[in-house]
Chains A and B, each alone.
Chain A
Amino acid sequence: MMQVSNTFKTLLQLTILCFSLQSFAFSDAKQEGTVSSKEQVDEYILHHIKDSHDFHLFSYSNDAGERKHVGFPLPVILWSSNGLVTFMSSEFHHDDNGEVIVERNGSKFVKLHSKIYELDANASAVAFDEEHHATNAHKVLDFSITKSVVGVLLVGLFMFWAFSSLARQYKNKSVPTGFGRVLEPLVLYVRDEIARPNIGDKHYRKFTGYLLTVFFFIWILNLLGLTPLGFNVTGQLAVTACLAIFTLIIYSVSGNKDYWMHMLWMPGVPVLIRPVLAIIELAGAFIIKPFSLLVRLFANISAGHIVVMSLIAIMFTLKESLGVAGATGLSLVLSFFITLIEVLVAFLQAYIFTMLSALFIGMAVAEHDHDHHHDEQGHEVPDAEDVRADFI
């Protein structure tokens, strides 16, 4: 009981810290009156949800009325029609509407809604159609060190430092001290609660490394997203898609004969139905499962960010109707509790992603040493696992 209340207290402090910093950063950027209307808030939030090419901390207007941005630029690496191009993102001068044109290697680049476009050869400015899509520019393959990549690198370095030092501790003693004492139960938790029960005692050891990496990667990135630094790494489709495809590759490669047999030529089913089932099973394994993994993580984190930022934005959007104190108070209370829930969601999504990955891997490597039960007509009575597999 004592432990639980302590954990809760720590969690609360952490949340308050995150939350206060976040609202501070947010209000700092807004208080100049640059973001006050509903549309501007929407735009700001949508902008935040996307990846960005520079590390922007906050902006302010100086006495002369100029906007000043505090942060640092990140390198832009592009594969354009004229080959590899690199420059610093500061060359765009914080423009996001395709107005500043950067010329390199004979190609012209503009940044439009956090994406870099290459202008067609003869164009000198971006032209838009009615839906605000660029008509004379196309996207380029963008290997830039974006904010998300910085986040991934930071988390990667942190994980490598933390866990390799934990590994080193075991060389001298059997029980770790210091920070390792926090990490060890988490490692044991993933191994004993996620990997072992879902994959089975025989095979779990091979996959535990991947599951541990993914679990901590997602969890720490989710938590990083709650800090006011404004990372939204696990809210990037590319990142979650990458994670989901890793899981897909792992369970497809490690699938045993039974797994493929049950997928492609289901035993105990009339022959005519087997191809139909095979198509459904294949779609389930190669599209639905990874898609559900990637969309769940992406949507949860994005939705969480949108909700938290919208609630913080109550400060500005409801200022007229509730007064400054009322709007601020309401915003504080609501966003505080939502942030609290987001801390839980950060863990929950990491847990669910790892859990489902383990479940899929477990289904692929499971050994059917028992015969399936058949009823009198010879039809297979589906067991719980098959039903679950179809549902997923």
Chain B
Amino acid sequence: MDTLLNDFSPGLFIVQTILLLGLIFLLVKFAWKPILTSLNEREEGIQGALEAAENARKEMQNLQADNDKLLKEARAEREAMLKEAREIKDKMIADSKEQAKVEGDKMLKQAQAAIESEKKAAVADIKSQVANLSVDIAEKVIKDQLADKSKQLKLVDDLLGDIKLN
């Protein structure tokens, strides 16, 4: 113990304290702080990158799922649209058929009506012409016949007989 205490140099102790203080101060300021900060940053960076990769992977999966969903939706929509189009087409064809039929019927009816009315008019015309003719004929005949009484009577009888035929 005595030898130890004898070997202990207070001067060296003081010098060492000053040097060590200086060394700690300098190293902390110029070395450890930047080194530890950079190491931390790097580790956080690596952690962040890993997390980002994981996130990206998840996002990718989500995206793929979305894509699948969209594709499915699109397909369904296409199906629906095609179906609708077919229906519309069918309906249109049916409609136009119907309409055509209705039109045709209408036209037919009109034509028939027109024909009827024409016929009626024609019949009426013929009747009036026949009547006129008859009157004319009758006038002429009467004019002729009225000269001879017997003949007049016979004619009237004949005429009357003819008329019955109508």
Contact = CB atoms under 8 A, between A and B. Distances in A.
Report A-B touching, CB under 8 Å. yes
Interface of A: 50-51, 79, 115, 141-144, 146, 148-149, 152-153, 156, 159-160, 163-164, 166-168, 170-171, 174-175, 184, 187-188, 191, 205, 208-210, 212-213, 217, 236-239, 241-243, 245-246
Nearest to A191: B36
Contact of A51 (B12, B30, B38, B41): B12
Given A51-B12, A163-B35, A166-B35, A242 B20 contact: yes
Given A163-B31, A167-B34, A209-B32, A187 B9 contact: no
A152 B10 CA distance: 16
Contacts of B61: none
B24 A239 contact: no
B36 A238 contact: no
13 contacts: A51-B9, A141-B10, A141-B14, A142-B9, A142-B10, A149-B16, A153-B19, A160-B31, A164-B31, A167-B32, A174-B41, A210-B24, A213-B27
Nearest to A243: B20
B30 A167 contact: yes
B27 A160 contact: yes
Contact of A212 (B10, B12, B32, B42): B32
Contact of B12 (A167, A168, A238): A238
B102 interface: no
Nearest to A175: B42
Given A51-B12, A163-B35, 15 more contacts: A50-B7, A141-B11, A141-B14, A142-B10, A143-B11, A153-B19, A156-B23, A164-B27, A164-B30, A171-B34, A209-B36, A212-B27, A242-B13, A242-B20, A246-B24
A184 B43 CA distance: 13
Nearest to B3: A46
A355 B35 CA distance: 21
A174 B12 contact: no
A149 to B, nearest CB: 6
Interface of B: 4, 6-17, 19-20, 22-24, 26-28, 30-36, 38-39, 41-42, 45
A159 B32 contact: no
A5 B7 CA distance: 42
Q: Which 6 pairs show the lowest CB-CB distances between chains A and B? A: A163-B31, A170-B38, A142-B11, A238-B13, A167-B34, A238-B12
Given A142-B12, A143-B14, A237-B7, A208 B31 contact: no
B9 A167 contact: no
A246 B36 CA distance: 22
Contacts of A167: 30-32, 34-35, 38
Contact of B27 (A141, A159, A170, A239): A159
A246 B20 contact: yes
A241 B13 contact: yes
Given A143-B14, A160-B31, A209-B28, A174 B42 contact: yes
A276 B9 CA distance: 34
A176 B133 CA distance: 136
B25 to A, nearest CB: 9
A156 B4 CA distance: 26
B12 A146 contact: yes
B10 A213 contact: no
Contact of B45 (A156, A174, A217, A242): A174
Nearest to A79: B11
A160 B17 contact: no
Nearest to B10: A141
Contacts of B17: 242, 245
**Central interface residue in A79, A163, A171, by most chain B CB within 10 Å:** A163
B9 A209 contact: no
B42 to A, nearest CB: 5
A149 B12 contact: yes
Nearest to B28: A209
